Each structure stands twice: as structure tokens, then as C-alpha cells.
Amino acid sequence: MKLLLIVGSGDLQQFGKIVIVRRNWYSPIGIKIMENLDNQYLLLTPGPLSTSRTVREAMLKDWCTWDDEYNKGIVEVIREQLVELATGVEGYTSVLMQGSGTASVEATIGTVVPANAKLLVVNNGAYGERIGQIAHYLNIAHTIIELGEVAQPSAEQVAEILDSDASITHVAMVHCETTTGMLNPVEAVCDVVKSRNKIMILDAMSSFGGIPLDIGKLGIDFMISSANKCIQGVPGFGFVIAKQTELEKCAGRARSLSLDLYDQWLCMEKNHGKWRFTSPTHTVRAFHQALQELQDEGGVEARYQRYASNQLILVAGMEKLGFKCLLDKSLHSPIITSFYSPEADEYDFKKFYNLLKEKGFVIYPGKVSNADCFRIGNIGDVHNEDMHRLIDAIEASMYWA
């Protein structure tokens, strides 16, 4: 049993069984200031996210990248669990890639699309745009559906372009576009793509593990995500869950040595989880723990329910304080929400950000080109009571009101 003393300015100290949390703000709903007492603030962003203490503690042990305890006991288990999370359909495999989530997107685009093929990119935000940039850098023939940042793609638009350009062989789209928080209609788009026998690539960076989705039933050929999103691990690697028959066709296609998705997969297959180059061992071990905690929570459906209720609490509380959502609620995802900035002349995002940070919350600036807004995420080790505390903190930080 630990004794919690709230004494003043902003850090945390522990003396034996006495934990002292120094803060300069008190919640009007009680003495419980922070759920994670050893975190200085909650990260209310699209990633990296606030993680559990047990996930962070999993990184305290060193691992040998050649050892079976690591490769067979951790990496291979992760690969199997990822496929099980993604689909109940047979014929899928997974591969882990060092680096950011974008590195895994680039590895996929650069390995999967052959030299004589053409990619259709659905772009309604910064991350769809990034796929187009990758195709440009890699000299891959491509067409981009430019939708702006506040419009959903429609299956009819995708169908029209595919029917008018027979040279298109692959389609890439972001599932949850965290530029705005919009959830794109993946089922409808996949129906169109697969009915025309095209390869479907889904960037599910900010949705996998937090929104129920069976990629096998949808016919998705390659799905990309990252360790530090809804699985609630820490940054350091991404992963791709692929239809094995399609991945096997990719030998020799890659435009990069270190981002060769096929060779990475083949190395892991032949060597029981061994990575081609230095593995981010501590991050991988933390991810193994995070997967266990996802299972303990009740799986993807339970996590989705927590995220969705977090988001509903957030929007209701923000609207009560006078804030307006950027998107119509029918377009919202349970991942992150964009709000218009207050119109008051005195409002300044940086000042607002710092006031919230002092109270234990970090939010995100806006990323929409034609709207002054900011974003608040509600994924990670974040719970309903945290969202209520956030609303109290925002009300206390509205210096312009």
C-alpha cells in the first residue's frame, strides 16, 4: 500500500512506500490526479501513446538477437498473434520491419508494386498524401484521387477510375486518416478493388488493434501498422500482415536493401524470427507485453469499446464547453478528433497547449491546410475517467473565455 501526497509543482518522487506527486493543479472531481503516477502527462495524440507501466518495464532486460529465447519465444509468437488479430482466414503471414510506421509503408509500396505496374492512391489527408510522395520518390507510376482533407472517398469514385484506367494494378488507402480523425469506408472500397482483381494495400497505422477488422474477409492483400498505436507498444518498428501468395511474388522487386519486405519475411521464415539487420529488441519485448495486455483487456472489441466511449465523452464535454468538431459526427473515428480553434483574438494554441501540459495532458496541433484547428486523441492507456479529467482541465485552461 502506497501513501499518495499531493504537495505542489509538477514532478514525482518516491520514498519507500510514500509517493509524492508534485503538481500545481487540483482536479475539481477529487484527489486522483493521475492514473499512471510515474508519467508526467497523458499523451492524447495519434502516437506515440501513453503506455502502461508494465509495457515500459518489459524493456528493462537486454536480449540477444541470435538467441532462440528471443526469436522463437518472442518474435515468432508476435508474428502468429498479429495474424490471429487480423483475420481468421487462412493464408496470411506477417513480417516485422525496423523503423517508423512510414518505413513499413515505404517498404510495402517499394516491394509490392512491380516496375511495370501502376498504383492508385486514395488521398484525403496527410498520410494518403505521404503514400503518393513515396510512389513519387520511388518512381512508381501512380494516379492520386485528390479529395481534400474533409471528404470521404466513395466506392463509386474508385470504381470509375479503375474502370477508366486498365493499367492500374494496385490500390492504396489509409483506414483512419488522423489528419482529421476521419474513418474511411474500407469495406466499400475493398469490394470495388477486389471485384476488379486489383491488389489492395491498407494503411491501418492508427486503427489496427483498436477497430475490429477482418482483412481476410475483405480480401486485403497487405495491411500495414505500427507498434506504437492501438496495440499500445512503444515506437521502434512497424509490421505488415500479408496474403502469403502475393508476398511470395515479390522476390527481387524491392527498390531498397533495408526496406525489402520480401527478404525480411524470407529471413524470418527461414531463421525462426531472426531479423536481417539489428532488431529493436527492447521495443519488440514491450510489444509482446502489450499484446498480452490487449488479450487481458478482452481483445480488439473490448479495446474498441473503451476508445469509442473515450471519444464520446470527449466530444460531449468539448461541445458543452463551446468547442465545435471539424468533421460531421458520422465521419468520426474512435481514434482522434479535430476541433476548430476558438475564434477569440486572445486564443493562442501554444499557450493553451502549455496550460494543459501543466495539468497533465498533451494534445496535438491541427494538420488541416484550410482550417484553424487542433486535435485530441483518446487511444493508448487512456480511460473514461481520464477524459472526464481532461474536460475539467480544458475548462480550467480557457483563459480567453
Interatomic CA distance for residues 287 and 29, integer angstroms: 34
Instruction: Please provide the size of the chain in residues.
Output: 401
Q: With helix as H, strand as E and coil as C, how does 71-100 read? A: HHHHHHHHHHHHHHHHCCCCCEEEEEEECC
- All three cell numbers of 95, joined, read 513480417
Compute how many other C-beta atoms are within 10 angstroms of the C-beta atom of residue 298: 12
Q: Please give the Cα distance from 99 to 227 (Å, whole number).
A: 10
Helical (H) or strand (E) element with 173 = strand 170-174
Give the residue carrying C-alpha cell 489509409.
174
- Give which of 157, 147, 89, 96 is closest to 123, Cα–Cα: 147
Cell of 258: 533495408
Name 3's bridge partners: 18
Question: Is 375 known to sit in a ligand binding site?
Answer: yes
Give the Cα separation of 96 and 238 in Å (integer): 6
Residue numbers belonging to the annotated binding site for substrate: 375
Residue numbers belonging to the annotated binding site: 375
